[in-house]
């Protein structure tokens, strides 16, 4: 039997990468209104906006650039990314079905003069790159808004390409 080399060894699964990061996938949260958390259409998976719900069931709230620092909001976006991964897993049954993170749309609940929205949403983008590697590279928009449901600090939605 031939020993595997870096060129022939299989890349670690998204689950192995999550474990290496010390992260557990959360159960997908229930919708807060009349919508579903995901829709699968052909080879695309559309994920509804998720927020920074922690393992205790507490939403992270506040205005970024006000009572929430950029660093804390980055962590909130990373937590939101973890919640998106939980929805992906529930939708697909296996994160290895992801063939590409296509697009993220990130909303930052910010004070009017805040201008570092991309730095905040990097929390989610960085997590997806860590979990999926090159297929985690995606198109993205990061915008500021005057408010979000429940005064959450960030909300992020995603479009994912999947294997049939």
For the entire predicted model, the pTM comes to 0.93
Report CA 40 to chain centroid distance, whole Å: 17
Q: How far apart are CA 17 and CA 28, in angstroms?
A: 19
Q: Are strands 98-109 and 154-162 parallel, antiparallel or unpaired?
A: antiparallel
Query: What is the tens place of the pLDDT at every residue in 8-41?
Result: 457 899 999 999 999 999 999 888 889 999 999 9
3-state class of 139 per DSSP? strand
CB 153 within 8 A of CB 73: yes
Q: Interior CA angle at 153 toward 160 and 44, to 5°?
A: 10
pLDDT of residue 43: 97
Residues 6+ apart with CB under 8 A from 145: 107, 108, 109, 110
Per-10-residue mean pLDDT of the chain, 164 residues long, equals: 50 95 93 93 97 96 98 98 98 97 98 98 98 98 97 98 93
Q: Which domains does the chain have, with CATH numbers?
A: 36-162 (3.30.1330.40)
**102 is written with which tokens?**
């296509």
Sign for the pseudo-dihedral over CA of 143, 44, 26, 97 = negative
Q: How far apart are CA 68 and CA 70, in angstroms?
A: 7
pLDDT of residue 9: 59
């Amino acid at each position: 039997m031939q020993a595997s080399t870096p060129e022939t060894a299989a890349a670690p699964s998204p689950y192995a990468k999550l474990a290496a990061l010390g992260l557990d996938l959360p159960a997908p949260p229930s919708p807060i209104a009349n919508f579903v958390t995901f829709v699968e259409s052909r080879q695309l998976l559309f994920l509804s906006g998720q927020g920074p719900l922690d393992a205790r069931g507490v939403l992270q709230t506040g205005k970024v650039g006000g009572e929430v620092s950029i660093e804390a909001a980055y962590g909130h976006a990373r937590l939101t990314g973890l919640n998106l991964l939980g929805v992906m897993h529930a939708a697909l049954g296996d994160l290895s079905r992801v063939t590409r993170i296509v697009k993220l749309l990130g909303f930052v609940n910010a004070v009017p003069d805040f201008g570092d929205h991309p730095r905040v949403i990097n929390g989610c983008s960085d997590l997806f790159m860590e979990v999926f590697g090159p297929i985690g590279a995606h198109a993205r928009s990061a915008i500021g808004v005057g408010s979000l449901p429940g005064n959450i600090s960030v909300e992020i939605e995603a479009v994912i390409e999947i294997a049939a």
